[in-house]
Amino acid sequence: MADEVQTLTRAFSGLGGLGVDEQTMVTALAKWRKQPEKRSGFRKSFPGLFKDHGVIEKVEDDYILHLTAEFSRFKNLMVLWAMHPWERDARLAHHVLHQAHPAAIVVEIACTRSAEELLGARKAYMALFHHSLEEDVAYSAKDKPYCSLLVGLVSAYRYEGPKVSSDTAKAEAKALGAAVKSAGAAGTKLVENDEVVRILSTRSKPHLVETFKHYKELHGKHILEDLASEETLGETVQCLATPEVYFSQVMEAALRDGADSHGKEALSRVAVTRSDVDMDGIRAAYEEQFGTKLEDAVAGKAHGQFKDALISLIAGK
């Protein structure tokens, strides 16, 4: 019985992971149907969920909230998966702008979608919420130093062809270097520099890759090293130039012990939104950076149907 109780406790708790083991719970329903003593033993052995309360073991209210979130992970993933991509991005952005979420999710949507996909998300946002995405971003971030950058990013309709002017890219690499030097001398934020915002929010992705290459040649280091202290700028550069690396790092952060709720939600978001786009690249970037396969890392942390759904999206299994 001790082993059965431990197995059921693990199914409920997730042992600090993600999701719950629904199949084990269903099995217990069948096996323990006429054995109330087993359920009593389970309650007494699981102080995280139950607390002695005189003649009964009372369910802890905080743990009910925890379980509600863990049970919801699979449902939320499936709802995201079923949505039209434009509606999905519109709803993700709206949730971010009206809750205490990091700005990175708006950056993701603005910088890793094609021009047509971003335009579609903006149309869906207007239809769903009767405001433009741009005006809600401007209002939400009005007191933030990165406001102009975010508005520029979500308003963009970038050229997506292969043509790049090497001379222009080199000139803008010099302009970025001058902005870095000026901000350092004046103690100001790069994200508020008009030239930096213009380059990042208007140029095509191939142009920016060329610009960053020239930046490294001119200054001996990747531009991200000079943006390390400005999180939103760094996320923007990564999403525009190396999205696979960016998303692999988001997944790694979500799988860490002690990841917060926003971090954990990223697992579903990234798995769903990138599964048909660049998941092979994300998996390769993850293994190169962290020395293990992404699907193995997920299998070690997630549970139940949520784990199965994640691995199906990530590994195509």
DSSP letter string, 123-177: HHHHHHHSS-HHHHHHHHTTTSTTHHHHHHHHH-----SS---HHHHHHHHHHHH
Residue 221 is classified by DSSP as S
The residues with which 18 forms a beta bridge, in sequence order, are: 302
Instruction: Kindly indicate the confidence band of residue 36, based on its pLDDT and cuts at 50, 70 and 90.
Output: confident
pLDDT at 152: 97
CA 298, chain centre distance (Å): 15
pLDDT at 1: 57
Question: Whole-number mean pLDDT of the chain?
Answer: 91
pLDDT single digits (tens) 83-104: 999 999 999 999 999 886 678 9
Overall average pLDDT of the 167-171 stretch: 98
CA 138, chain centre distance (Å): 22
Instruction: Kindly indicate the confidence band of residue 287, based on its pLDDT and cuts at 50, 70 and 90.
Output: very high
Weakest mean pLDDT among 25-39, 241-255, 276-290:
25-39
pLDDT at 74: 92
Spatial separation of the C-alpha atoms in residues 157 and 151, rounded to whole Å: 12
Domain boundaries, the chain: 2-59, 88-93+102-240, 245-315
Instruction: Kindly indicate the confidence band of residue 316, based on its pLDDT and cuts at 50, 70 and 90.
Output: confident
Question: In the predicted model, is pLDDT for residue 9 greater than 80?
Answer: no
pLDDT at 13: 63
Weakest mean pLDDT among 5-9, 158-162, 217-221:
5-9
Q: Which helix (H) or strand (E) holds 53?
A: strand 50-53
pLDDT at 317: 62
Spatial separation of the C-alpha atoms in residues 201 and 115, rounded to whole Å: 12
More confident residue, 66 or 286: 286
Spatial separation of the C-alpha atoms in residues 266 and 315, rounded to whole Å: 17
pLDDT at 100: 67
Instruction: Kindly indicate the confidence band of residue 59, based on its pLDDT and cuts at 50, 70 and 90.
Output: confident
Question: In the predicted model, is pLDDT for residue 170 greater than 90?
Answer: yes
Spatial separation of the C-alpha atoms in residues 238 and 226, rounded to whole Å: 13
CATH superfamily of the 245-315 domain? Annexin (1.10.220.10)
By the 8 A CB rule, do 244 and 281 touch?
A: yes
Residues 6+ apart with CB under 8 A from 278: 243, 244, 247
Q: Tell me if the pTM is above 0.95.
A: no
More confident residue, 20 or 112: 112
Spatial separation of the C-alpha atoms in residues 41 and 138, rounded to whole Å: 55
pLDDT at 274: 97
pLDDT single digits (tens) 197-208: 999 999 999 999
Helices (H), the chain: 2-13, 22-31, 36-44, 61-82, 85-98, 104-112, 115-129, 133-140, 147-155, 166-186, 194-202, 205-219, 223-226, 231-241, 243-254, 261-274, 279-290, 294-301, 304-315
Share of the chain above pLDDT 90, in %: 70
Share of the chain above pLDDT 70, in %: 97
Question: In the predicted model, is pLDDT for residue 164 greater than 90?
Answer: yes
More confident residue, 151 or 1: 151
